[in-house]
Structure formats: structure tokens, C-alpha cells
Amino acid sequence: MHITRRHFVGGAGLAALTVQFPSLALARQDSFIDLAAGPSQQALFQPDGPTSDLWTYNGSAPGPEIRVKRGERVRVRLTNRLDEPTSLHWHGIRIDNAMDGVAGLTQDPIKPGESFDYDFVAPDAGTYWYHAHNKSWNQVARGLYGPLIVDENTPPFDREHDLTLVIDDWRLAGEGTLDVASLGSLMDWSHGGRLGNWLTVNGRAMPVSTLNAGEAYRLRLINASNARIFEIDPNRFGAKVIAYDGQALPEPVQLRYAPMLLGPAQRADLMVVPEAGSDFVIEDLSGDTPFAFAGFEITGAPMSQPNPPSLPPNNLPEPDLVDARTVRVEMTGGAMGNIGRVVYQGEPLEGSDFRDTGQVWAFNGIANLAEAPLYSARRGETIIIETINDTAFAHAMHVHGHHFRVVERSGSEVDDGQPWRDTFLIGPQQTTKIAFVADNPGKWLYHCHMLEHAAGGMNTWFEVS
């Protein structure tokens, strides 16, 4: 499914909107922020066009920006006003396991009408997000996600120079409303996941922000789509990468291997110092023609040369590669792939079982969570996960509760050495090694963040004691 320019023709054109969020700063540490997951209406296609039936946090997709300082406590009371159970995951946060929000693993699903109190400390500054973690393929596709920003102790960019862009690709049906009939399609599950045909940034198509020439801005890109990998070239608008998945790079990087890929759930923070008169757009280059999804108008003349701020690092535990234990994960299945022998819920799948259960992917021959963990780590042990993608598709692999370094990968050039990430992309027939210190006790998922793939079997877990 492609995103096409066609939809813009005859549309409302560029709307001058600011991309800034009203944010829920946690001024009072002793009180809970209320989030309610429930149905709401939102015009996705054009502001005055038909509205879609979404599921949202507090009435809008994305939900409100939650913003705290590094080391501060986050307290959120989530009330479920949906007709089905839900839970809330804090993506990329090195969190207390009981607060990780994985229904069925770290907590019971929150039933309709009930609520759950999330209460944790945000240890690292950076760009994160929150999203539903029960039937995510359905709940996230309908709008249950929002940004979580953790400010540095002394934020290098003030709020006027710090913009959050939550990008989503929705699948709209003919009249421009969310296509719910195709949710759960086995076609999507067995191919590249649910791809949309309409892009929004912070819930609006092609918002335009005004920036001042000569001033440094931080653009926090968050890919909230179920399965789309965006291709973005920061060189087209003179931007540098300053962080991936919340973690600052040692210094701003001008990419040599552009465009960069921004997979589902990944974040990239860019720094741009726009020049006078040089309006620009951010484009997705993954289709046949560039598709602009966010616009920037530059006003004024620079008063002085700015001193671009730099981001301080978080204190992540450095993996010890010499004494590490390596765990292999072989990915199989999907269309045009071999799946081999697969065990699901303790039983081998045969014939039409694959279609009937939707379990069309496997890790090491097991679809979805096994009874026993993939491995149990001693607390403090360095784990290397060697992931071998023996499928015909790319995947976006996410580790819960830990950031890792990408230490080795076949088949793709990257600019960034061995960056810290919480989600990495792996192409067909590639092998990637990630390393991290398993220092966070509890039960943690390792899964594909193409949400249809996760539901279709690409889901395992490990334990840290």
C-alpha cells in the first residue's frame, strides 16, 4: 500500500498549524495524571472532512504529551473506557518490571471500566512514547499512543525550540475514514504488516510550523505506525542527527548514508538551524516519489551565529563483550519464506493451523510466547542477542526494559558506530548482534514492533533474576 500525493490534490492545501503539544507536565509529584482510553472521533483526512472512529487517550491521537525531567517520577492513572481489555506500555523506558504494561506478562489486562496506576521513575532523558500493549495491532492502529518526553536536567533547547512530531500512517478507506474492516487481515500479518495510505503528524496532515532563521531547533521524530519504515534524509534540510531512541549521540552526526530508516517505534532527534528564506519540508522517501509530511516556514534574519547546544549522555551500563553470553534467535515464516516446524502453545502447527491461528512467524521454531523464557540472565550479565532474519521481510526488533548497543550487522552501512537503541531494523537475510547488560530484574519481551508480526508469532521473552 502506497502513500500517494493524489490525496492532496484538491485538498485543503497546507494548513499553518503549530506542531507543539499542550503538555501534561508533572508539576505535582504526588498526584496522578488521568489518562482515559476510549472511543473518540477525529478528522484524519481533512480538518473539515469526515471523522473517523478512533480509540484514543483523552480524546485525541496522539494522546497528550507527557513531559517530565530526568529522574522524576511519572504517575499515571489509566482508566479503560473501551469495550475490551487494555494496558499501557512506556516504550524505551528502563522501567520497574511491574510498570512495563505488558498484558499477560507483567500485569493483568485492565478490564473495561477498571483502572490501573502506573508509577515509575524516568531514569533517562530523551524521546520516548507510550502505547497500548494488549492487542497492539488493533489498539495502536486505532490511535492508542502518545509521546513521553523526558527533559535533561538542564534542557539544552527551550520549549520554543523543541518540537515533537509523532508520525503515523493510517489506512483510510474510500471516503477518508479509518479502514477498520481490514484490521487483522491475514494478508497484512503474513506480509509487511498493516501499511497505511495517509500520513499525519500529531494527528494532522502536513502541519506547517514557523521557525526563526539562525536558531537551533530540536525535532523529535517518533514513528507510531504499525509497520511502516520511513526513509528520511536530514541532509535535504541541513539537519544533523543528535539522538536515536532517546539516547544522545556523542556529537551531532551529518549522515553519510542517507536516507536514514525510521522503523516502527523508533525515534530520531534531529537538530536544524534554518537559514533565512529557506522553507523546508520533511519527506518520506520510501515510495516512488518523495512524500512531504511536515512543513517549516522560516522567518526573520539571523541575529547572530548560534552555539548549537549539545546533549548530555544518559548513564547506560556498558556491555562487557568479552564475558558475554550469546543467544541466537532465528526468525522464520511469513509470505515467501520457510517456516519449518512451529510450536504454538505447546503444540506443533500443521496445515490449516497456520491460517486458523494467524501464527505465521516464529522465533527458533516457536510462535509467540513459550512457557519457558528464551533465556534467563543473571542480573548484571552481558547478553548478546544474535538475530538471524531468515524471512523475506524487514523487521523492527524491540527489547523491553533495556537499551542495547548494535554491535554488529551484516549487509547495511550505518553512520553511527555502535549506537544505543531500544529498537533495531533488520533486513531480509541479515544478521544483527545487539549487546546489553541485563540489569533490570523481571520478565521482558523481545518482539517485532511491526505489530502484525508480533501478533502473528514474532514474540518471545527473557527473564533477569
Interacting residues with ligand C2O (CB under 6 A): 89, 91, 131, 133, 265, 398, 400, 445, 447, 449
Give which of ligand C2O, Cu ion, none residue 402 binds (C-beta under 5 to 8 Å, depending on kind). none
Identify which of 164, 105, 171 has the alpha carbon closest to the alpha carbon of residue 133.
Answer: 105
Q: Counting contacts by CB under 5 A, is residue 425 touching Cu ion? A: no
Does 395 sit near Cu ion (CB under 5 A)?
A: yes
Q: What is the spatial distance between Cα 70 and Cα 52, in angstroms, rounded to a whole number? A: 36
The least distance separating ligand C2O from the CB of residue 265, rounded to whole angstroms, comes to 5
Per partner kind, with CB cut-offs from 5 to 8 A, the member of Cu ion, ligand C2O, none near residue 191 is none
| Cell matching residue 285 | 522517501
For residue 105, the minimal CB distance to ligand C2O (Å) is: 10
Contacts of 415 (CB under 8 A, 6+ apart): 241, 253, 255, 256, 257
- Residue 204's nearest CA partner among 181, 170, 241 is 170
State in angstroms the smallest separation of the CB of 106 from ligand C2O: 10
453 is a contact residue toward Cu ion (CB under 5 A): yes
Shortest distance, position 411 Cβ to Cu ion, whole Å: 17
395 binds, among ligand C2O, Cu ion, none (CB under 5 to 8 A by kind): Cu ion
Bridge partner list, 215: none
Give the single-character DSSP code of 275. P
Q: Which three cell numbers stand for residue 265?
A: 517505534
* Rounded least distance, CB 180 to Cu ion, Å: 22
Cα–Cα distance between 175 and 197 in angstroms, integer?
13
Nearer to Cu ion, 395 or 403 (CB): 395
Task: Report the nearest approach of ligand C2O to the CB of residue 25 (Å).
Answer: 23
The item of ligand C2O, Cu ion, none sharing an interface with residue 448, based on CB under 5 to 8 Å by kind, is: Cu ion
**Which residue type sits at 277?**
G
Query: Binding string, 433-452, against Cu ion, x = CB under 5 A?
Result: ---------------x-x--
Task: Kindly state the cell numbers that stand for 202.
Answer: 500529531
Nearer to ligand C2O, 52 or 87 (CB): 87
Q: Considering the complex, state which of residue 240 and residue 449 has its C-beta at the smaller distance from ligand C2O.
A: 449
Choice between 172 and 448, CB closer to Cu ion:
448
Q: Quick check: helix, strand or coil at residue 109?
A: coil
Determine if 99 is a binding residue for Cu ion (CB under 5 A): no
Task: List C-alpha distances in Å: 276 to 158, 211, 215, 295, 376.
Answer: 21, 10, 10, 15, 56
CA distances from 304 to 89, 158, 277, 301 (A): 43, 17, 16, 9
Report the partner that residue 450 touches, choosing among Cu ion, ligand C2O, none (CB closer than 5 to 8 A by kind).
Cu ion
141: left (phi over 0), alpha (psi -120 to 50) or beta: alpha
Per rule CB under 5 A, is residue 339 in the interface with Cu ion? no
How far is Cα 307 from Cα 310, in angstroms, rounded to an integer?
9
**Contact of residue 453 among Cu ion, ligand C2O, none (CB under 5-8 Å per partner type):** Cu ion
Exposure on the CB side of residue 325, measured as CA atoms within 13 A: 13
Q: Which is nearer to Cu ion, 383 or 448 (CB)?
A: 448
Q: Is 329 in the site for Cu ion (CB under 5 A)?
A: no
The 8-class DSSP code of residue 211 comes to: E
- Least distance to Cu ion from the beta carbon of 426, Å? 9
**CB nearer Cu ion, residue 267 or residue 453:** 453
Cell 485538498 belongs to 11
With CB under 5 to 8 Å by kind, the binding choice for 199 among Cu ion, ligand C2O, none is none
CB of 90 to ligand C2O, least distance (A): 9
Task: Provide, rounded to whole angstroms, the least separation between the CB of residue 265 and Cu ion.
Answer: 11
Q: Are 382 and 319 contacting, i.e. CB atoms less than 8 angstroms apart? A: yes
Pick between residue 80 and residue 87 the one whose CB is nearest to ligand C2O: 87
Q: Pattern 13-32, binding to Cu ion, x per CB under 5 A?
A: --------------------
CB nearer to ligand C2O: pick between 142 and 161: 142
- CA neighbor of 221 nearest in space, from 197, 242, 194, 249: 242
The least distance separating ligand C2O from the CB of residue 369, rounded to whole angstroms, comes to 12
Nearest Cα to Cα of residue 308 among 238, 213, 216, 218: 216
Angle at the Cα of 334 from the Cα atoms of 461 and 106, rounded to 5 degrees? 20
The site for Cu ion (CB under 5 A) is made up of 395, 448, 450, 453
